[in-house]
Amino acid sequence: MRTPLVAGNWKMNKTVAEARELIMVLGGDLKSITEVEKVVCPPSMSLVAVANLLGGTGIGLGAQNMHWEEKGAFTGEISPGMVREFCQYVILGHSERRQYFGETDQSVNKKVLAAQAAGLVPIVCVGETLAQYEAGETAAVVHRQVLAGLQGVDAAFAPKLVVAYEPVWAIGTGKASSGENAESVHRDVIRPALAELFGAQTAEAIRILYGGSVTGVNAAEFFAQPNVDGALVGGASLKPEFIEIARAAAR
């Protein structure tokens, strides 16, 4: 009942010309995979160019971040309205934003509420660091991030939310979580936290993605888990491998 969602987070990769080329490589095959919601999230610099290539492909477009204010003196930022002009999705609270750019549960929450107001689907990232994982703090950290990040979201909007569980120790390391570990965090921590916020029935409708070293080889193991509703893919989304991952989600 939850449509699988596979999103590619291109991070700070690809010029506009390279972004166009990558869409040419991926677009046709992705278009043919109809059972899965597919999204690409290029750097903001390339959003307009990519938007112009996605018409009629059924591939969604997302930004990797945005500010919560609609306009003003915020040098270097882009606003929800600017994102909404070209995109349907926005990644919020990625661990790299938290780690390198000072994002907190509070700033993530402001952005989530701004996405709701703008009619954007937020892909809200949560996940523990290696130190927190080793200290056995995964459940406490992820529970806190979900509750604080999604506080104040309307129950009517909540089913549109997407949560991405990305353990920081699995991002870009080639050391993916096991399918079983992802399932246990999704089932025992994230979905119950969503139920606390929005009620059990709404929580069942919200998609929870796994992210962190997802590949064409290991994707099927994640998608076989009942509470893994798709993937947020970094490195492998820059290659034709992303098509294989989307195909695995369709099975």
* Minimum CB distance to ligand 13P smaller for 171 or for 194: 171
**Does the active-site annotation cover 94?**
yes
Q: How many residues bind ligand 13P (CB under 6 A)?
A: 14
Q: Mask of contacts with ligand 13P, 4-23, x by CB under 6 A? A: -----x--------------
Per-residue mark of binding to ligand 13P, 125-154 (x: CB under 6 A):
------------------------------
Phi and psi at residue 2, in whole multiples of 5°? -95, 120
Compute the CA torsion angle 232, 130, 66, 118 (nearest 10 deg).
60
DSSP string for residues in 117-186: HHT-EEEEEE---HHHHHTT-HHHHHHHHHHHHTTT--TTTGGG-EEEE--GGGTTSS-PPPHHHHHHHI
Binding characters for ligand 13P, 155-194, by CB under 6 A (x = yes): -----------x----xx----------------------
**Contact present, 105 and 148 (Cβ < 8 Å):** yes
Residue 212 in the binding site for ligand 13P (CB under 6 A): yes
Residues that bind ligand 13P (CB under 6 A): 9, 94, 166, 171-172, 211-214, 232-236
Active-site residue numbers?
A: 94, 166
